[in-house]
Structure 1
Amino acid sequence: MSSENSAYQEVREQEDRSKNLGRGGLLVLGLQHAFTMFGATVLVPYLTGVPVNVALFTAGIGTLLFHLLTKWKVPVFLGSSFAYIAPINAVILYHANAPEIYESVPEAIAAGFSITPDMIAYATGGILIAGLVQVAIAMLIKRLGVSMFEKIFPPAVAGTIIAVIGLNLAPTAISMASSNWWIAIVSLGTAVLVRLYAKGFTRLIPVMCGIVVGYVVAAITGNVTLDAVSQASWVGLPQFVLPKFSFYSLTVLVPVALAPTIEHFGDIFAVSAVVGKKYYEDPGIHRTLAGDGIATAVAGFFGGPANTTYSENTGVLAITKVFNPIVMRIAAVFAIILSFVPKVGALIQSIPTAVMGGIEILLFGMIAAIGMKTLIENRVKVDGKNLIIVSVMLVVGIGGAAIGIGPVRFEGIGLAALVGLLLNGIFVMTKAPEE
């Protein structure tokens, strides 16, 4: 990056600042990241029938393993992957002998079908192998070398992928906020005011403040339901399921590993751009992808959904500018604790979607803005071949395009990255003019 030195200086200052926060401050920042990841992490289990507390446990364990494999350097949180939702449903319904008219496990359960742990085990067995496939791809990338990787993903492609991540998630934020725009505006407004005008430590927790104030307003206006909290127990063991394997589950789930692998590149570009460090060089994209794969394989072993790096938490990094990876590890520990304390998990889950929607408008918008900043800082000339690459990637990435190749479905971020990779390769080989 052309402004690397200033970016690195800012990073060093922020890291020094985070070291002066003390244990209490770091715990609060970690809890802020835990709140941020919670909604998406538990949504996947609800859509697939996988136990929620298992998903929380495997997200926490997966994040800690990722940090171990990446030398404790990369500030990311790994949570449930949305790319596997449809394949997981397909495998579970197949082994439940459910008719094809049912597209999801909750739909089949509502119709009277019984879903047993054995059926889920076949899906998680496929997830385990899919994670190992990601590790194998990581080993291949290591052999190719970082220089080859940078040629495949130049700044024009990398910056656009980051922008697509934010823009692709924008409809989700708007959909959540639209459930109650007044509450969403309160949450968003609080986060903005805290980030811009608060002093000291409070300025570092705008997301937490936005959630708390939004929750209080929602409770006062009668928009919070606590029935699930009163029904939940204080202590409960996650319903772990050992994996099983079938030809069907492997053929449906294992090829899916290709899509989140390509999305992973975009996520690491985004974190690198936010922090100002090339994590795809150090500790290396092969390590981050291997960490992602190991986290997914371990999740499959315990009976949880596949893991992936979370853009929501990257957005929090961009707002707070506290990049110390320890806050993500603290969030991981919180996730593990929540998996054994259903009542606290139910309390967090009672946060209205509008509250999180308001916060995510800011988080996802900042990721898109960082993508544009990456293009500007690298002085990418958006003309000639770069104009074509950026244009096609943006429309494909946020326009709803999807391509299915057998059980593998490329859409959104993954499809945009794939298109950018292919176009760049074609233009390099044909020596397309810059203009």
Structure 2
Amino acid sequence: MFKWDVVYGGKTPPPGKAVGPHERLSWGRTIGLGAQHVVAMFGATFVFPIVMGLDPNLAILFSGICTILFLLVVKGHVPSYLGTSGSFVAGVTAIRLQGGDSADVTGAILVSGLVLALVGVLVHFAGANVLKKVLPPAVTGAVVMLIGFNLAPVVANVYWPQDQWIALMVAAFVVFATVRFPGFWARISVFLGLVFGYLISWFSDEVFGKITSFSAAANKVTTHDRIDLSGLSQAKWIGLPSMHLRDGVPAVHGPSISLTFVLLILPAVIALIAENTGHVRAVAEMTGEDLDPYMGRALAADGIATALASTFGASPTTTYAENIGVMSATRIYSTAAYYVAAFVAIILGLCPKFGVVVNAIPGGVLGGITVVLYGMIGLIGAKIWVDNGVSFADPLNMAPLAAGLIAGIGNVSLKITHSFELGGIALGTIVVIAFYHLVNVRRTGGPSPALASFGDIPPTHEGRRSGDDDPAPASV
């Protein structure tokens, strides 16, 4: 697990070439790629704890610890970064609306992590074919797409309004750097975009002065500097978060388990199963390895990581689609880069000064970076459909997926009782899976006349093109 073959002389691979999980470039380039993975997970890993009322610095610390745990459990075959899961936001909001505090939140998350770990154990012994039957390519593509596009409101409502022109310039820079910069520089475009955004934000503060816009910290429109480092001199270099959360609970705290609150948050496990399954299948296609034997391990590892993090008051984790986007852009899947990213995150998580710097990243900068990365996540779902020949002339692929995508991307909610509802990714995932299998029972024949106009090529079998002998592999 800790031996990587140096390929391409340690230099940037030629166009079209890839670096596998057990390979690496020079340590200098590997460190740069690890830093890019840290940058890629910055936005969501910090914003989701803030939205859930938990400590973002603690989230970074445990994202590094949990990433190492994940890599060890999967024996280095599934490159992944474990960042904060956004699938729990709706459930956490419901818990707080019912009077629960941060300890109740982390207690409910702890139980959800244990349930996910149990699912992973069952899949490990029953085989990944169980998941293949439940999540065929059409369904997997839809789930990955709704997970990516569900993040769009975070950009539109939290980041972009803080400084739309900075966001636009950063987005343009990241796109240009990814496509036009040579070799290795193109592969760290996200990191360069962050540096570029910091510089133009500082320049704007010096030349144009303060900006009047929405402030995420104040949760209202204020007049403020784009970069505020006023608390940097008072912050320590090394230490655990010692502050109290906004509900009075210490940042580092033990969980409190309540069955009522557990039931509110448990549906998020469905989204985590879909996210992990989609991630493993995506990595399998990108690396060309058969990762089915590690599907159960990946699910169990994420469950254990979520339970571990919540035991100390940190945020729930999940395999990060943001980092799939980085791998898709760089074609470098080396787990060495993920270990680097994990150790960087641990060091940064133990540095309160770093917390001040990260909290000072202008919202416009994050808006520009995430508008590109989150869009790439959603388009990975579309690529799964294309690579597997999913035909939307077939109503089986059109109607159930359409319903689930709108439910998930639009954050549609379904109120079960006065204190329990499903929404967003969880509801969208359930709709896609349930509707798909509901209408696929003992189904024969081609597309119905009602949808014949949506395509000319009649479907043969899910995951096949006409003339193929074997089902096409899952792909991103």
Distance 1:200 1:363, change over 3 A: same
**Aligned with 1:227: secondary structure?**
coil
1:390 and 2:401 correspond: yes
Choose from 100, 103, 106 the match for 1:121. 103
Residues in 2 aligned to 1:327 and 1:347: alpha-carbon distance in whole angstroms: 23
Following superposition, the deviation at residue 129 of structure 1 comes to: 2.1
Choose from 112, 115, 122 the match for 1:133. 115
Partner of 1:153: 135
Q: In the TM superposition, what are the counterparts of 1:9-408 in structure 2 within 5 Å?
A: 13-15=17-19, 19=23, 21-88=25-92, 91=95, 120-175=102-157, 176-222=159-205, 223-239=226-242, 240-254=252-266, 256-272=268-284, 275=287, 277=289, 279=291, 281-284=292-295, 286-384=296-394, 385-405=396-416
Distance 1:92 1:173, change over 3 A: closer
Q: Are the aligned partners of 1:18 and 1:26 in contact in 2 as well (CA < 8 Å)?
A: no
Following superposition, the deviation at residue 41 of structure 1 comes to: 1.8
Q: Are the aligned partners of 1:188 and 1:361 in contact in 2 as well (CA < 8 Å)?
A: yes
Following superposition, the deviation at residue 405 of structure 1 comes to: 4.1
Distance 1:404 1:260, change over 3 A: farther
**Aligned with 1:308: secondary structure?**
strand
Q: Are the aligned partners of 2:107 and 2:256 in contact in 1 as well (CA < 8 Å)?
A: yes
Distance 1:248 1:379, change over 3 A: closer
Moved more, 407-416 or 78-87: 407-416
Q: Are the aligned partners of 1:259 and 1:408 in contact in 2 as well (CA < 8 Å)?
A: no
Q: Are the aligned partners of 2:34 and 2:339 in contact in 1 as well (CA < 8 Å)?
A: yes
Ranges in structure 1 where 5+ consecutive residues have no aligned partner: 1-8, 97-118
**Aligned with 2:318: secondary structure?**
strand
Residues in 2 aligned to 1:299 and 1:429: alpha-carbon distance in whole angstroms: 40
Partner of 2:427: 415
Residues in 2 aligned to 1:201 and 1:238: alpha-carbon distance in whole angstroms: 35
Moved more, 175-184 or 407-416: 407-416
Following superposition, the deviation at residue 140 of structure 1 comes to: 2.7
Residues in 1 aligned to 2:125 and 2:26: alpha-carbon distance in whole angstroms: 41
Distance 1:45 1:397, change over 3 A: closer
Following superposition, the deviation at residue 205 of structure 1 comes to: 0.3
Q: Are the aligned partners of 1:127 and 1:300 in contact in 2 as well (CA < 8 Å)?
A: yes
Following superposition, the deviation at residue 134 of structure 1 comes to: 0.9
Following superposition, the deviation at residue 324 of structure 1 comes to: 1.3
Following superposition, the deviation at residue 299 of structure 1 comes to: 0.8
Distance 1:80 1:20, change over 3 A: closer
Following superposition, the deviation at residue 54 of structure 1 comes to: 2.3
Distance 1:342 1:396, change over 3 A: same
Residues in 1 aligned to 2:333 and 2:30: alpha-carbon distance in whole angstroms: 11
Following superposition, the deviation at residue 213 of structure 1 comes to: 0.8
Distance 1:247 1:427, change over 3 A: closer
Equivalent residue letter for 1:295? A
CA RMSD of the aligned region, Å? 2.9
Distance 1:52 1:315, change over 3 A: same
Partner of 1:100: none
Q: Are the aligned partners of 1:35 and 1:348 in contact in 2 as well (CA < 8 Å)?
A: no
Equivalent residue letter for 2:167? A
Following superposition, the deviation at residue 404 of structure 1 comes to: 4.1
Ranges in structure 2 where 5+ consecutive residues have no aligned partner: 1-12, 206-225, 243-251, 448-476
Distance 1:408 1:169, change over 3 A: same
Q: Are the aligned partners of 1:131 and 1:293 in contact in 2 as well (CA < 8 Å)?
A: yes
Per-residue deviation, residues 331-364 of structure 1 (Å, max 9, x unmatched): 2212211121111222122111111211222212
Partner of 1:103: none
Residues in 2 aligned to 1:123 and 1:11: alpha-carbon distance in whole angstroms: 47
Distance 1:259 1:272, change over 3 A: same
Residues in 2 aligned to 1:134 and 1:17: alpha-carbon distance in whole angstroms: 25
Following superposition, the deviation at residue 126 of structure 1 comes to: 2.9
Following superposition, the deviation at residue 160 of structure 1 comes to: 2.0
Distance 1:366 1:185, change over 3 A: same
1:426 and 2:438 correspond: yes
Residues in 1 aligned to 2:38 and 2:144: alpha-carbon distance in whole angstroms: 23
* Higher relative helix content: 1
Q: Are the aligned partners of 2:271 and 2:425 in contact in 1 as well (CA < 8 Å)?
A: no
Residues in 2 aligned to 1:403 and 1:60: alpha-carbon distance in whole angstroms: 35
Distance 1:270 1:415, change over 3 A: farther
**Aligned with 1:221: secondary structure?**
helix
Q: Are the aligned partners of 2:241 and 2:352 in contact in 1 as well (CA < 8 Å)?
A: no
Q: Are the aligned partners of 2:202 and 2:227 in contact in 1 as well (CA < 8 Å)?
A: yes
